[in-house]
Amino acid sequence: MEITKNPSAIHNLDNNANDDGASYKTFFAFIGSAIILGVLAGFIIAFFQKGTKNNNSSNSSNTVTAAKTAGIADKKTFKDSAEGILREGGIDGEGTYHLERPGGESQNVYLTSTTVDLSPYVGKKVKVWGQTYAGDKAGWLMDVGWVEMQ
């Protein structure tokens, strides 16, 4: 039996012979295209969302508008109430706000709140409902659960 060589059955295994960096060029072209398309998509999305944002140009100051009422309307839990003008600041570390009432500083009600944000009501006449706690320095210390603007 004689073995003959078939020239078509022999292949060159050297893959880099005809490549000349074509795969690198394709890779970087793909990455560059993806970056350009991503940036372009970002600009398009930002352009269309600009019109849908809630830009309140009539209210140029960043003040928070206070609702007429806020908190938890639970008169059983929050049975104590007081009325006055809400001011910032407690007394000797007790309370973060206080109600200014007629009769001077001895009539102030010092307030904290675990349920309602009182900051929008500063400077406004309000009625608050809450639970009274013993204070070391404050004559009246209340945890506010419900606030109503007067």
What the chain holds in terms of domains, given with CATH numbers, is 69-149 (2.40.50)
Q: What is the pTM of this model?
A: 0.54
pLDDT tens for each residue of 64-106: 566 788 888 877 788 889 999 999 988 888 888 999 998 888 8
Whole-number average pLDDT of the chain:
79
According to the 3-state scheme, what is the secondary structure of the chain? CCCCCCHHHCCCCCHHHCCCCHHHHHHHHHHHHHHHHHHHHHHHHHHHHHCCCCCCCCCCCCCCCCCCEEECCCCCCCCEEEEEEEEECCECCECCEEEECCCCHHHCEEEEECCCCCHHHCCCEEEEEEEEECCCCCCCEEEEEEEEEC
The confidence score (pLDDT) of residue 57 equals 43
pLDDT tens for each residue of 36-62: 999 998 888 888 876 555 544 444 444
